[in-house]
Amino acid sequence: MTLKVYNIEGRLVAILDRGMRKAGEHSLTWYVPESLSSGLYFCRLQAGRFSGTQKLLLQK
């Protein structure tokens, strides 16, 4: 399983999690670096054959 964040240009800005987890619900806190500006980002989760992407709006 990997959880990555990309900017609007498709560049990787953070890898939030890597590794195996047991089935179920999980939560994660992302401490956003000061260097990231406000704007639209994409969060991509890949786990086995599953791959999903969500939009994130960062407001500072």
* Separation between Cα atoms, residue 50 and residue 1, nearest integer Å: 9
For the stretch 10-42, pLDDT in tens is 999 999 988 888 888 888 888 998 999 999 999
Let me know: does 35 contact 60? Beta carbons within 8 Å.
Answer: no
Both structure tokens of 13: 């800005």
User: Which structural domain, as residue segments, surrounds residue 7?
Assistant: 2-58
CA distance 53 to 43: 6
pLDDT over 70, % of the chain: 100
How many domains in the chain? 1
H or E segment and range at residue 51: strand 50-58
- The pTM (predicted TM-score) of the whole model is 0.85
Largest CA-CA distance found in the chain, in angstroms, rounded: 35
